[in-house]
Structure 1
Amino acid sequence: MRKYLSYYFRNFDYPLFFDYVFLCLFGLVMIYSSSIMVAMIDGHEPDYYYKKQLMNLLVAFFSFAAGAFLPYKHYSRKNVMVFMVGLILALMVWVFFFGVGESETGSKSWINLFGIMTFQPSELAKLIIILYFAGAFYRKSLKTPMAELSPNHIIYPIIVWILIIFFVANETDIGAVAIISGIAIAVVAASGIRIKTFFKFFAELAILGAGIIGMILLIKGDQILTPNRLGRIKAFLNPFEYEQGSGHQVIQGYIAIGSGGLKGVGLGQSVQKLGYLPEPQTDFIMAVIAEELGLVGVIIVLASLGFIVFRALIIALTTKDPLARMITAGIASWIAIQTFINLGGLSGLIPLTGVTLPFISYGGSSILVLSFAIGILINISMYEKLEKRKHRGWETI
C-alpha cells in the first residue's frame, strides 16, 4: 500500500489539484461576501450560506478523493454502466413525482433527503452522460472500428439521453437541458467516428430533442412558458425597457460590473448585493466579483476555469486511450458550456437560465459532482503521466 501511494503521488497532477482548490476557496470567500444581506433578509445568521457551503466543500473533498483514486477504466465496465444508468433514472423518476423547489426557483429539480439536505439529480446527470456515453462508445470500439460505427450501433446511449432530457426538460430546467445536450455532442465528437456519421448522430439527437421539448410544451407549456421566463426573453432583447420587472436583475448586474472598473471597489464593499441583485451568491456571483475585485478578479476566475478546460483538452488531444479522450473532452465541454451560459446570461449575450458558475456559485449538488469530475480528470492525468514515463523507460508499476 505504501509503495502504491508513493507511485500514485509521484504522478499526481498537482497544478490541476491546486487550481481546483483555489477555485473552491475563492468561491467560498465570495459566497460569504455576496450572501450576508440575503441571509439576514431570510432570517438567518449573516454567515449562513458561508457555513453551508463550507460543509458542502468538506463533503465534496471526499467526492473528489473517490474520483481521484478510483481507476477511470472501471467506468467502462458493464455492471458499473448499468448501475449509473439505473441510479440516475431512479433519481429522475423520484424528482418527477416528489421533486421540490418549484415555488422557490421555478424548477422542480431537487430531492429532499429526509429534511437534512436537498440534492439536484440533473447535476449528476451531466457527469453520468459523460461516463456512460464514453463507456458505451469505448466498448463498441473494442468490437467494431470507431470509424465504422453508425447511430444504430449506439442505440442504448441515445435512449438513455432521450430519457434524461425528457425528465430534465419536465423539471423546466432549460439550462441543464442545454448543458447535457452539449456534453453528449462533445463526447460523440471526441469518440473518433466519421464526420458524416457524427452529423447524422447530431441530427438524430436534435430531432429527438426537439420532439421531446415540443411534447412537453404541449403538455405543460403554461408551467414552462411562465411570465417570468417570457420576461427573461424580453429582457434579453431589451433589458432597459423592463427595468422594473424582468430586466431588473440584468441591469443590476450591469451596474455591478460597471462599478467595479479595473481593480474593483474592494472585497466586501459591493453595493449591488445589498438587496439590489437577487440571489447574488448563485448565478449572479460573477457580478459581485466584478464589482468588488474588478476586471482583475474576473480574469483570475476565468483563467482558473480556463486552465481546467485547457488541461482536459490537452489530455484529450494527446492520449491514445479513446476512453480517456472521451471522458476528458466531456468534462472540458461541461465546464466550458456551463461557464458560457452563466456569463452569457450575466452579460446579456443569451437569456438568463439560472445556471451556476462552476466551483464558485453557492450550491451543494454542483460542487459535489464537479469535485468528483475533477477527481476523475486527475486520475486520467496521472495514468497519462505514468504511460509516458513507462514509454521512456523511467518507471514501472
Structure 2
Amino acid sequence: MFKKILKSYDYSLIIVVALLCLFGLVMVYSASMVTWHGTDSDFFYQKQKINLLAAAAMFVIAALFPYKAMKSTKILLPMVLFTLAGLTILFVVGKVAGNALSWIEMGTRSIQPSELAKLSVIIYLSAVYAKKQSYINEFNRGVLPPLLFLVMVFFLIALQPDYGTGGIIMLIAGSIILSSGMNFKNIMKLVMIVVILLVPVSLILKDEVFSEKRMARLTSYSNPFNDEQKSGYQLANAYYAIGSGGLTGLGLGQSNQKLGYLPEAHTDFIIAVISEELGIFGVGFVILSLAFIVLKGIHIALKCKDPFGSLLAIGISSMIGIQSFVNLGGATGVIPLTGVPLPFVSYGGSSLLQLAVAMGILVNVSMFVNFEEKYKKDKAPQPKPKPAMVNQNSYKFRS
C-alpha cells in the first residue's frame, strides 16, 4: 500500500517546483550580492537558504497530510481564528515596511500574516462551498455565509493598507466562487454587492486610496520616463535591466542595474535582474515553469471527483497564476506596481513558506486522484471470458 501511495505522487510537479526554488536561490544571491548597508554579500542568500530548508520541511508535511482532513471544523475553526488574530495583532506590534503595516518581527525574523491569509482563504472557501454543494444555489444559505470571513480578511489587510495583497485575495476567492457550482444569477448578485460596498468605502477612504503616491503609480506605469527620478524610478530602471539582457543576457552575476540603481532587485524586481543576466532564456524558464505549475493545478482540479480537492486545486493554481501575473505585469509596465513577490523566485520567508504548504496540498490532492484511479483499476472486476464458439462445420459424420 505504501509503495502504491509513493508511486501515485506527481513527481513532475515536485521537480519543477524544486528547480524553480533552487533557481530563485541562485538569483537572490546574484541580485543581492552588491550591498550598500554594511551587510555581507551573501546576507540575503543565507537567509533565503534557511527559508528554503524550512519550506522543504513544510512541503513534505503538507504533501503527506491527507487534504480531506482539512474539511474538519477542528482544523478550519482554529485556522480562521489564527488568521484573524494575526491580521489584528499587526495594529499593536506590527512593523511598517513598503508603506504598509504588514510585518510582525520575531527575533531576527519577520512574518507577513497577509501571505498566510491567502492560503487560509483558499482552504476555508473550498471546504465550506464543498460542504454546501447540495444547496449551493440558495443565496442566503449557500452563498453568503462563507463570505463573512473573506470580507473580514480583506478589511484587515486594506487597513494596513495593502490593497495589492487584498486585491489578489479577492481575485483568488473569485476563482473559487466561479468554480463552486453556483449559478450565474447568484454570481451576478455577488458582483453587485461588491460594487455597492466598494463605492462608499472608496469615497470614505478617498484620501488614503487616492493618495498622491498611489496615484503617481497609476500615472507613471504607462510612461515612467516622464518622471524618471521620482515616481517612475523603479520601473524605468527595470526597463533598462530588461532591455540590456537581450537574447542571452550579460552573464550570471553581471547585472549593472543591481549596483544601486534598481530598488528591490532581489524581491519585487528579481525578474528584471534575471532578464539582464540570463536574457530571454532565463525569463522563459521562469515563465514556462510557472505556467506548468498553474496548468498542472487546473488539470488536477478537472480530474478530481471530490469537490473539496477540486476547489483547493483551483484556488492554489489561481493564486500562483494571479500573483505571477501581477509581479511580472508590474515589472514590465503592463499594470501598476503593487509590491508583490514573484512566486518561488523572489526573496521572502513568509511567501515561500506559504507557497510550500500550498504546493504540498496540491501534490497531496494529485496523489489521492492518481491513487484512486490506479486502485479502482486494480480492483475492477475483470470481464468473464466468453465461451469459445464451436465451429459446427468442423464436425462431419462419417458414412
Task: Tell me the TM-score normalized by structure 2.
Answer: 0.91
Shift of 1:376: 0.2
Shift of 1:237: 3.5
Select the residue among 184, 200, 213 that pairs with 1:195: 184
**What's the % identity of the aligned pairs?**
42
Q: Deviations over 1:117-139 (max 9, x none)?
A: 11001001110110000111111
- Preserved contact between residue 303 and residue 369 of structure 2 (Cα < 8 Å): no
Larger helix percent? 1
Flag the 1:21–1:233 CA change in 2: closer, same or farther, 3 A. same
Select the residue among 32, 42, 45 that pairs with 2:40: 45
- Preserved contact between residue 135 and residue 142 of structure 2 (Cα < 8 Å): no
Select the residue among 306, 318, 326 that pairs with 2:303: 318
Paired AA for residue 284 in structure 1: F
Shift of 1:229: 2.6
CA distance in 1, matches of 2:10, 2:198: 37
- Could you tell me which residue of structure 2 aligns to residue 126 of structure 1? 118
- Could you tell me which residue of structure 1 aligns to residue 26 of structure 2? 29
CA distance in 1, matches of 2:242, 2:185: 44
- Could you tell me which residue of structure 2 aligns to residue 139 of structure 1? 131
**Quick check: 1:172 aligned with 2:153?**
no
After TM superposition, the structure 1 = structure 2 runs for residues 267-346 of structure 1, keeping only pairs within 5 Å, are: 267-346=252-331
Shift of 1:214: 4.6
- Preserved contact between residue 248 and residue 278 of structure 2 (Cα < 8 Å): yes
Q: Deviations over 1:338-369 (max 9, x none)?
A: 11111111111111111110000000000000
CA distance in 2, matches of 1:156, 1:359: 33
Select the residue among 9, 28, 32 that pairs with 2:6: 9
- Could you tell me which residue of structure 1 aligns to residue 105 of structure 2? 112
**Quick check: 1:62 aligned with 2:57?**
yes
Q: Deviations over 1:108-162 (max 9, x none)?
A: 101112x231100100111011000011111122xx243x332542333211111
CA distance in 2, matches of 1:265, 1:140: 55
* Structure 1 runs, 4 residues or longer, greater than 3 Å off: 205-215, 224-228
Local SS of the residue matching 1:118: strand
Local SS of the residue matching 2:110: strand
Shift of 1:390: 2.1
- Preserved contact between residue 294 and residue 317 of structure 2 (Cα < 8 Å): yes
CA distance in 2, matches of 1:299, 1:136: 38
CA distance in 2, matches of 1:211, 1:189: 25
Paired AA for residue 392 in structure 1: K
- The Cα RMSD (Å) is 1.8
Local SS of the residue matching 1:18: helix
- Preserved contact between residue 220 and residue 227 of structure 2 (Cα < 8 Å): yes
- Preserved contact between residue 136 and residue 154 of structure 1 (Cα < 8 Å): no
CA distance in 2, matches of 1:181, 1:269: 39
CA distance in 2, matches of 1:367, 1:112: 17
After TM superposition, the structure 1 = structure 2 runs for residues 73-112 of structure 1, keeping only pairs within 5 Å, are: 73-100=68-95, 102=96, 104-112=97-105
Q: What runs of 5+ residues in structure 1 fail to find an aligned partner?
A: none
Q: What runs of 5+ residues in structure 2 fail to find an aligned partner?
A: 381-399
Flag the 1:66–1:149 CA change in 2: closer, same or farther, 3 A. farther
- Preserved contact between residue 32 and residue 265 of structure 2 (Cα < 8 Å): yes
CA distance in 1, matches of 2:344, 2:46: 16
Task: Tell me the TM-score normalized by structure 1.
Answer: 0.92
Select the residue among 15, 18, 21 that pairs with 2:15: 18
CA distance in 1, matches of 2:274, 2:69: 39
- Could you tell me which residue of structure 1 aligns to residue 223 of structure 2? 238
Shift of 1:318: 2.4
Shift of 1:213: 5.0
Shift of 1:207: 3.3
CA distance in 2, matches of 1:357, 1:190: 25
- Preserved contact between residue 191 and residue 325 of structure 1 (Cα < 8 Å): no
